[in-house]
Structure formats: C-alpha cells, structure tokens
Amino acid sequence: MKIVITGSSGFIGYHLASELLNRRYKVIGIDNNNNYYSNLIKKKRANKLKKNKNFTFHKVNLVNEKKLEKIFLKHKPEIIFHLAGQPGVLYSLKHPKSYLINNVIATQSLCKISKKHNIKKFIFGSSSSVYGDQKKFPIRETFKENPKNPYAKTKLSSEKIIEKSFKKSNTDYIIFRFFTVYGPFGRPDMFIHKFLNSIKKNKKINLYNSGLNFRDFTYIDDVVKILLKNIMISPSKKIFNICRSKPIKTIHLVQLIEKIFKKTVKIRKIGFVKGEMLKTHGSNSLLKKNFKSISFTDIKYGLKKTIAFYKKYGY
C-alpha cells in the first residue's frame, strides 16, 4: 500500500512516516520545508526517513498542482495523510496571508488532485483551535466552532473544503482535531520545547496569562497509533478530537518540567495575549467509542521521554 504524507518533515508527519515505514508501508513524503521554524530540524527528520528504501521524498509546495499531478501519476497512492500546513497562533496574527496560501489554497489543490485520482482515504490533521474559547468542558465535536485567529480560521476553512470535496465521492475522508501534541523531536516553536531551550540557554521564558492557561497535551505516540488505526477503520462519523482529555495548567506544567529536568528557569509572567485561548479541554469519548482499545500516555511519562530525547540530542 502506498501512502502520501504531506508535511512529512514536520513533527507529526515525521513520527507517522517512521511508524508506517517500520510496518513496511511505502511512504511518499511531501513537504516544502519552509522557514517558519528551524529548517535544520526539518532536514534532520527528512534525512532519517530517507535512510529507508520504502521512503520517497518530494520537496514541493502543495499549491503547485502540476507537480502534485506528477507525484500522483508516478506513485499512484491509495491513502493521503494531509498533515502539512502553516502552524502557529501568534504568528498568524502578523502573517495572515501565509495561512491563506499554505492552509486553504494548499488544501484546495490537494483535494482537487486526490479526487481526480480516486484516492481511497483522505485523512486531515486539523486543530482544537477551531473551537476557540468555549464555556462548557470537555469540548465535544458537536460544539459550535469559534475560531479566534487566522490559523484557526484557515484550519476550519480547510475542513469545509475537504467535506465539500469528498462528501459525494468514493473517497472515505476523516478529520482529526489535534489538541496540543508534544513529544521527542518536537516543534521548537511550541511551549515545551521553547521552555527546554530556555533551560539550556539559561534564559527567561514568557508565561502568557501568568501561566494560568490550561492545555490538553497529547503525546505524539498516541496520535500516531490513532492515525494508524484509521487505515483499517472507517467510522461513520467524520470529525474526531484527539486528546488526552486531562488539561494541565501551564504553571504546573513548568513545575513538572523543572522537576524532571532537575533545573529551574527564570520566568516572566505577562498578561493575556490576543488570539490565545484560555483553556483547551477536549472530550475523547467519541474517539474511544469508534476506535476501541485506546489509551493515553500519562503527562509525566511523556515529558520524561521528551526531556530524555532533548538531553541526548539537543532538540
């Protein structure tokens, strides 16, 4: 079976590709390797994947339909994991156009080519940010979306494009809304890795909203296991949260990291930042009902694995 992963040099894409290759699938990675965060980390991920003979990499921007067409004609994939996209909530407030191109237009382009080539399954990595701030918790998939920033708005737009493209087609599509994914080889722009880098460089780190935000952290291995299950399972529901459903206050997360790392860091508590959500707390009951035998990694264990990897490799 041939599987395309867009965003294969990214955090989730890399871990998914690694596990698929371990299971002897043929993986076609597509990534434009942009400079939103350190290209060095993306190249390290890509180079690790390239060591496997079943991995083929294409450095392509998804908006380029002609190049996408050539990739599909050459490899004839059956499944698409669309994990590419421009991430970052705060960055999106300053650079909204980048999100329109890399999230919305890129998704339109990929859906168009996928539909033309009768792809069997199309799996999309969306975000919990589409919910925005909610008054009731845990957040269920049926809650009304309330995106607060360009990143969240373009993720929701991408969901709508996918629904419209495949609703009356033979392609089985599914949308996963990820809640703050973390783990080894993670994104340096995410809070946990920012914090680890601050410890390493002995620098202060900003705690938005004085560290009183709640985040529903989800370990990368759990996300990958669910994505893999979806290859064989075709639930009737089309939108699922992927979350541990046990949010932690940022200030408590900081204390946990310091304890595991055995080092303290200087903290600068600052006020509320526009576009940031106060709390993410998703419900995973629908996911567990449809995908069976799913368990989620304890935050302490996940952090230990993440920190051990960071100490060994420095990223």
Q: Model confidence over 74-105: pLDDT tens digits?
A: 999 999 999 999 999 888 999 999 999 999 99
Beta bridge partners of 214: 249, 279
Q: At residue 259, does pLDDT exceed 80?
A: yes
Going by their DSSP bridges, the two strands 2-6 and 79-82 should be labelled as: parallel
Q: At residue 275, does pLDDT exceed 80?
A: no
Q: Using alpha carbons, list the distances in angstroms from residue 74 to 17, 123, 134, 207, 270.
A: 19, 21, 45, 48, 52
pTM > 0.85? yes
Pick among 3.90.1150.10, 3.10.50.30, 3.40.47.10, 3.40.50.720: CATH of 2-186+217-245+280-297? 3.40.50.720
Please answer whether residues 31 and 46 qualify as being in contact, where contact means their C-beta atoms are separated by less than 8 angstroms: yes
Q: Where are the domains of the chain?
A: 2-186+217-245+280-297
Please answer whether residues 27 and 17 qualify as being in contact, where contact means their C-beta atoms are separated by less than 8 angstroms: yes
Pairwise CA distance, residues 295 & 288, whole Å = 8
Pairwise CA distance, residues 254 & 314, whole Å = 19
Residue with tokens 């067409």: 69
Pairwise CA distance, residues 162 & 107, whole Å = 8
- Helix spans in 122-190 (H): 150-166
Angle separating helix axes 250-261 and 191-201, nearest 10 degrees? 50
Q: Model confidence over 31-40: pLDDT tens digits?
A: 998 888 778 9
Mean pLDDT, rounded, of the chain: 95
pLDDT band with cut points at 50, 70 and 90 for residue 265 = confident
Residues serving a catalytic function are: 151
Q: Model confidence over 146-191: pLDDT tens digits?
A: 999 999 999 999 999 999 999 999 999 999 999 999 999 999 999 9
